[in-house]
């Protein structure tokens, strides 16, 4: 009788252990999927300042806008240098026709495209408030942030 109770206890213990292992694998699998999410967004704007001036302001602007440090940002001068996909390349071409000369490309792990677009909006707004723009230039500010959703690009408002 004692042997049977032990086996029942062992069986229950093994079953609990198996459930814990299954839950652990499920949790780890979801963690990997979550970590694989990479949000992307693109901010187009006009600025008469040189690229090195903007790049030198970006660390301060990031801090002022409280942008997460793991958000990667690249500055691209000239819309002819934008090569992401045909839809964004077309947007860049249209932007160039309207006087836009810079694009900020943002990318963040464990962030959605909308999250990254929101962060880029904060950066572009902070750029607008920076010494790179005089009062006269502020009146003529041109800029927009786009992110991909459902196979198309949407402007972040």
Q: Are residues 114 and 137 in the same domain?
A: yes
Domain that holds residue 127: 38-156
Q: Are residues 27 and 44 in the same domain?
A: no
Tens-place pLDDT, residues 93-108: 999 999 999 999 999 9
Lowest mean pLDDT among 7-16, 72-81, 124-133, 145-154: 7-16
Residues present in the chain in total: 157
Q: Are residues 81 and 21 in the same domain?
A: no
CATH number of the domain encompassing residue 147:
3.30.70
CA–CA dist 34, 88 (Å, integer): 26
Q: Are residues 83 and 94 in the same domain?
A: yes
Q: Are residues 66 and 126 in the same domain?
A: yes
Q: What is residue 136's predicted lDDT score, i.e. its pLDDT?
A: 57
Q: What is residue 3's predicted lDDT score, i.e. its pLDDT?
A: 46
Q: What is residue 115's predicted lDDT score, i.e. its pLDDT?
A: 95
Q: What is residue 131's predicted lDDT score, i.e. its pLDDT?
A: 86
Give 102's strand partners.
45, 77
Q: Are residues 76 and 3 in the same domain?
A: no
């Amino acid at each position: 009788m004692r042997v049977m109770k032990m086996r029942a206890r062992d069986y229950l213990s093994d079953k609990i252990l198996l459930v814990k292992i299954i839950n652990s694998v499920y949790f780890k699998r979801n963690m990997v999927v979550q970590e694989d999410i990479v949000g992307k967004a693109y901010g187009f704007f006009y600025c008469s300042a040189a690229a090195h001036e903007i790049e030198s302001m970006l660390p301060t602007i990031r801090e002022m806008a409280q942008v997460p440090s793991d958000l990667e940002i690249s500055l691209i001068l000239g819309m002819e240098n934008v090569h992401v996909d045909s839809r964004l390349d077309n947007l860049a071409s249209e932007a160039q026709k309207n006087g836009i000369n810079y694009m900020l490309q943002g990318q963040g792990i464990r962030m959605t495209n909308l999250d990254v677009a929101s962060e880029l909006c904060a950066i572009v707004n902070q750029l607008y408030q920076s010494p790179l723009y005089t009062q006269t230039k502020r009146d003529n500010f041109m800029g927009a942030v786009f992110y991909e959703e459902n196979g198309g690009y949407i402007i972040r408002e």
